[in-house]
Structure 1
Amino acid sequence: MRIVLGVSAGIAAYKAVLLLRLMREAGHQVDVIPTPASEKFVGRATWEAISGRPVTTSVFSGVDEVRHVRLGQEADLIVVAPATADLLARARAGMADDLLTTTLLASEAPVLMVPAMHTEMWNSAATTENVAVLRSRGVEVMEPAVGRLTGKDTGPGRLPEPEQIFARVAELIAELSADVPADADHGAPGSAPAGPLQGRTVVITAGGTREPLDPVRYLGNRSSGKQGAALAETAAAAGAQVHLIAGIMDVQAPEHAGNITVEHIETAAELQAAVQRAAPEADLLIMAAAVADFRPASYAAQKIKKTDDGENPVITLERNPDILAETVQQRRTTGTGPKVIVGFAAETGSAEADPLELAQAKLLRKGCDLLVLNQVGERLVFGRDETEIHILTAPRLTAAAAGAAAAPTAAEAVVTTLRGTKHEAAEAIIAAAAAYVV
């Protein structure tokens, strides 16, 4: 089937990446049409890499083949996910002010719109009327899910999970293949397809490490473990068998989930040993733990006390092992190990470089496949429910997905930015990683 996937400018746009992957894995040709503003959430290179098709937002691209009309004419099905309040309004009005609305207007194919917006916007009289008019014209508008929205809001307006959307897409395709009329009774929804990590083994590290100085003191960090716990739950929901290596966490590790096993560690050395045991059998490794870079060179068997002479103790530090770089090197040397390795970078920036520049350099230096950047500080990220992340995809992955003969330079790594809760960040990270676990 020829499917057009329209993506409008909502924070849920990142979920459409996994929806695209599901449609491609099912063997469909998918042309992605993002709205110009949606590229602030997911970049064009991501769509092109996964779809294997050129992507543009402009009606002036491919003018010689009248592309802004041809895409709609040739489509068997159009799916818009997320469909924002603005997009629903423009589609209802029959506007054609960008490539997506032009394609909608030029097509006679069935259209499935999947709304995502804040509850107040979904319940507004304007949106209610727009949805009613679109449905009266034969457009199928899914009901949004109820759940956590951007920030602390909860209610109807959340984009349904990609698997749920794809289940409906599969039903529509089956109806089209069987020549069932578009207004026929759809019946009960079929069971959702297996998650994108079904049958896969995922190893996730989480929390901080503690490096003991003496029996009562240690070197540590502010990591709460919230992001790692959210990643474990999200990967499990995607069908994976998850092995969570948990350091020091402010939240309870998901010990009792059916497909999550938890191994507790404290020091970087213990984490290194746990990763060495688990990584060779993993399909995906996500190194979300905040690992101490240094540890005391010696351990005092008794509590270090103040002395009468007023002298301050001198604590000599030594480097901890670079577990991420070691694991990448082991895979490179032996040809075995995780298919995809995701690293994390917690950066404050420096006088010489901003956090994103430091993360670009780290992606190249470590050699992992994806790198998640957090800008951190005493009042940033650590312990909070909200976060801002930048997902950097290694150029070699992007090039391979696009069929390029040679990988581009490190500076051309694809960057996807998300602001939201740590569970929303986990969904974005798992979707990005799952796209390359083949």
Structure 2
Amino acid sequence: MRVRRVVTAAASMLALVLAGAASTTPLTLASSGSTALLSTSPVDEAVRLALRPTLAAEEVTAEVVVDRSRAARGQRWIGVGAALTDASVEHLEGRADLVSLLFGQEPGSIGLEWLRLPLSATDMSTTLWAWKSGRRGVRPSRPARDALRFLRREVLPVAPDLQVMASAWTAPPAYKTSGSWFGGRLRGDRVKRYSRLLVGQARWLTAHGVPLRSISLGNEPGHTSDYPTMAISDRQLSRLARLVGPQLDALGVELWGLDHNWADLPRLDATGTDGLDAIALHCYDGLPADAADLTLPWLVTECTGTDDGPISTFAWDSQHLVVDAVAAGSSGLLMWNLALSPGWRGAFGGCWTCRGLVTIDGDTVRREAEFFTLAHLHRAAPAGSRAAPVTISGPVIASGFRSAGRAGVYGFNTSDQTLTVRVRSTDGALASVHEVGPYEVFSWVGRD
């Protein structure tokens, strides 16, 4: 994992907090036969998932038209999520209010549908660990048990339909050429043993009430560093997929390939995609367009904000993680840490400027820009929606979504002016006009 993006000097000067008062608008937004638009300002704390009144204006400065015809139906959207790192467990355990803020359906919450579960220590850890494998079988070590206890006792009661994706940052040192937690490669004589570890982890998780939907062969298998990491060669990835894929199928668990950057997609030319159900991609190098020709479903499974401000974050996330990604076929968006505190860092190197979806600073909880990106995206595109083409005029960018009796739009005002925005469906059944402030992210929903 590397720093995501360059920030302009003007935007970095506007690194304003996004705490604000909680919205009073429920996640359902529009009722039957109506429309609704919410927006979030990067500078006005009073405008956080705020319901914008419907206007009677005939003249507009921007328009988004969403095509919800069956012929225009795109890829299936599976939802939004973030990672339950060791740091996130430490910050969230015992905080029912924050669990509800992230996973609940209350006003002002995100309503996360996915959780990424590390299967080893990461750069967001303060102790070194991996799952155990021996005569007693494959089983979680203490830090893994702590995360799983938190997931089952505190998260799943709030989000019973949550789905889990699991990834290991490293195998135990004995599996690696370095003999260390840090860096090194998977040993050639440990490939089969590592495959048994992966399958054993999936089997244990599914048998113990964890709603495991997918697992990858390893996080960022082309990256090694001064924190828990492990490189896996193309040949090893191909062999592992053949060994692991059929056994995961029998468990009802998907195998997601690559789990690295858009720029690493050429590795699939060497590894092939046999045994894979989808491709997991990160945002730190390359562009979403690099994935446009994939024949398997793909989604973003990691991206983080750092020390950039809310305007640049809204602009970058909206353009790359939503609009360009959806246009290139993305079917979901998972961010990095659920929660951190100011200046928090792991004990083993890695990212020292990463931020969570929420920042916990003593008694203050700040919802970061990425929180609102996911919150608006979830409102526009709940899991099960289909991507839908949009036609745009004026200084906005947007992605459209549709499902039975429903249309949704995620959008961003790219200008420094307040816009009068009309959003409508091509069939004319759903339409409304609303004000959207400068550089605001917005979500619009219409229901028949």
Q: TM-score, normalised by structure 1?
A: 0.29
TM-score (structure 2 length as normaliser) = 0.29
More relative contact order, 1 or 2 (CA 8 Å, 6+ apart): 2
Greater fraction strand: 2
